[in-house]
Structure 1
Amino acid sequence: MNDEPDDRTSFADLGLRPELLRALSGLGYEEPTPIQREAIPPLSAGRDLLGQAATGTGKTAAFALPVLERMAGGERDRRAPFALVLVPTRELAVQVSEAVHRYGRELGARVLPIYGGQPIGRQLRVLEQGVDVVVATPGRAVDHLSRGTLKLEHLEVVVLDEADEMLDMGFAEDLDTILAETPADRQTVLFSATMPGRIDRLARTHLSDPVRITIGREQAEPGEAPRVRQSAYVVPRAHKPAALGRVLDVEAPTAAIVFCRTRDEVDQLTETLNGRGYRAESLHGGISQEQRDRVMTRLRNGTADLLVATDVAARGLDIEQLTHVVNYNVPSAPESYVHRIGRIGRAGREGVAITLAEPREHGMLKTIERVTKQRIHMEKVPTIADLRARKLELTRAALHESLLEDDLESFRVVVETLTDEFDVMEVALAAVKLAHEATGAAADEEEIPEYVPRSGPAGERRGREGGGERREPRRPRRPSAGMTRLFVGAGRSSGIRPQDLVGAIAGEARLNGRDIGAIEIADRFSLVEVPDSAAQQVIASLRGATIKGRKVTVRRERDDPR
């Protein structure tokens, strides 16, 4: 018998009423998370609260339970909403609404999600009949306010959930409009995963003497593996689709989101991944709400395993079976990185965050590490040999499972017939070969060049051809046949190396690195040979680009007669 005192906090210790405790027990909640322990007591007491908490820390229950506790504890006009929860997306509106309904079932809580893309008639009818908690996107809430169908004069609680996302999506003016229609003595709760200056300004304007809480993602115990494994691969742009395919082949995610910058990139990458055998779906602003709903249904029921999406289109998504998040490009801001990886490693589950960085983006990874105070491990892109080994391991695992679980007796006659002619080991090898090929064994592919920051093979070769970094360029000679020599207004004194020029030209002009000819680097300038047909494209592409953090002049060499 263990006589040691149990100092863990329970939901009962937080003073919640029996109806809520029974609901939590029925849902399998055993003890509160850190954000729930910190937030529920002051919110139940009516205090304003400013909370910084990552997705997956349990913040929905942290504000929903006190709202229900307070709502059930006093007299009020049952026709008017008691609480308004504002969220950035329709998916999050539905998720929060479902959670509040589950927690408040025994209290008879009436909850209504209102968002765009849903017929407004039903929303009007429910609002007319009376509702306790409204969960709304800002745009649709303003729409109802203008119609006079959402009345907030008796509102007692306003919750701004994922406030930084709402500001990023351009809802700042809508938030001001909505909050202006609420009573001055309301309770205001603001949760945000990040705390940029604009969130602090929003809090100073609309919160009164708030309790401040900061809860990071739950960390693993010392010696344990982190819940979210963060890794990055430095890959030239031209090889990124192949590199992503290989990484996914090795990782074998249950479900993954791949984040891209543009709609075109989403569509192209979705097509590439489907061609590789994945069941990929695209999600961006160019698809209809009906298509979006179908995509999410396929992902949740397992008929799709990859979602390729833009940041805006994927906001508010909560996919329970998600195991991997992939940044196809390095996010432009650390806050975006935080939001993306916040979708995995939730409720104690492990997750994997993968970033594909082009050579020129390598420094941005260090910035993200510094801001998030989390290590991103640099990995090597899986080789063809790695892929083959992984495929063989999957085949072995499938055969092992079949041997343990399947009824194989009906196949015995086939084996016995063959062993009259062949050794049993040969029969087994042939069967494994067929099983392996049926799983889609890796096709012959080109090896992806390994990124070497300071002295990669291409840099060394071009350094030798053009004098490299240690010698002044020779007296300019005629360009090679079919090539044009370009003048770049930066050289050795700016830290320019051959691989910097190759990376910039290949990345910005989408030129294959093998097509770039001799490179010569002097103290204050460099000379680069590119194909005649691509010269003007390279000049135009590099006009607004930076090399080693600075904008440079790029033009044809002066003595080039063209």
Structure 2
Amino acid sequence: MTPTPTDDPTGFSGLALRTELLDALAALGYEEPTPIQREAIPPLLEGYDLLGQAATGTGKTAAFALPILQRLPQGNRGPEPTALVLAPTRELAIQVSEAVHRYGRVLGARVLPIYGGQPIGRQIRALERGVDVVVATPGRALDHMSRGTISLGSLQMVVLDEADEMLDMGFAEDIEAILQETPEDRQTVLFSATLPRRINTIAQRHLTDPVRTQVKEETTAPGEAPLVRQSAYMVPRAHKPAALGRVLDVEAPKAAIVFCRTREEVDVLTETMNGRGYRAEALHGGMSQEQRDRVMGRLRSGTAELLIATDVAARGLDVEQLTHVVNYNVPSASDTYVHRIGRIGRAGREGVAITLVEPREHRMLKTIARATKSRIPIEKVPTIADMQSRRLELTRAALHESLLEDEGSLEHVRVVVETLADEFDVMDVALAAVKLAHEAGGPAADEEEIPEITVRPEREQRGRREAPGRSGGRGRPSSGGMTRLFVGAGRSARIRPQDLVGAIAGESALRGRDIGAIEIADRFSLVEVPESAADEVIAALKGSTIKGKKAVVRRDAR
């Protein structure tokens, strides 16, 4: 089907959204649709089914959330949900739910995430009070269906978000079972980062003459890439401000621009970085031209060293002093990435491009690296020890500079040293002076260690998993940074590796790629998970089922 095109492809106002949603988007600081939003929203508003190829970070949540909210009636609404969004992990279900709530708050939208690891009684009570949109992991959705605590008879739209990830985690049968209980005349939306044969099979079975849309990637011609050192840091969302501060402390840019998605994010991050001691300025579409001119003047004069901006506000800016570009989030498309880093590395000078990547955005970063034919290595976020060493080096450099100055500038403090030298060794006096100078710089702005996230290549990750029929020995030690869990169910219970991956990823914050080797014996299984997440996984699985049965889960004793 070919949907009706919009008259204005540049702004949300051209997408025929209701006024309340446009006001909500403006308040949140969204200035223009991303490519996937521009392509997906019009056909969804017209009622077409849609098959979209879009990775995390492209704005696909709003692409389906806004059409869901568009059709919510005014006034009192019934207790049964009109939209169901299926997501592969608890983390994604929460994020989608929060996004739908933000967009639909002005409409009084009732949004409920349901996932494992949360008391089911609380979810049941919320369903009884009435909801408009349910965002669920497949396993917990089936649990509510079997209990009769959720009704799908009034659904108008079903969304399969990150469908390829759900299939990789073994949720294919669950998805089929859920879709069979939904109305035949529902609107069905499927988003997937890749479109393997299995995804197309689901689309052919459950989507009716769908509109197909894809975020197209552009490549950079040979020789056109700027002289830029590119790197990325894998960081949990909650630790991104601290990670940005540490990376900038180490890089010490002369002038840097940090790209954010929304005005709200720009304002919050600007305040945070100023609190850390940076001279940061905000730049977004909500500012007047006079304000923009003042900000740029401070950056060009060196009064400000950090510009935090949205893409729209930064268009047309050409700042010669820029040495660093930071993507606070993975860009939604490779051409955006190329355009951003093109602001540095000019005239033979090397620039630095840094990207902060949430674990679930890793696939999008790899897509950008392939499309731009770039190498974007994943670096380790500086630790507290790294930052202490860095500050100590700065102290040494400051003392060295002071010693190189005119000797007369130190004469007024000579009496202090001579007096102390009568009582203490001169080396001890120097050590104490350096210690005081170092501590005068202040403690680290964030004394909490940032969790390290290790990303293994996907091919290696798949290779580490054992086949269902292989029992493996229990004496083999766990991999570095991983711990092994004992699960009291095995081949006799028809447990497969994908069942264990789906249960863990569906009930905890881990993703499928975080899970290591899986060994399945007749009556038990052994699963490697990151040591830092072991207790969370054990707690989550104790309150859930695997293949419909409870199973003992604990750390492996051997």
Normalised by the length of structure 2, the TM-score is 0.46
Which structure is higher in RCO with an 8 Å CA cutoff and minimum separation 6? 2
Normalised by the length of structure 1, the TM-score is 0.46
Bigger Rg, which one: 1
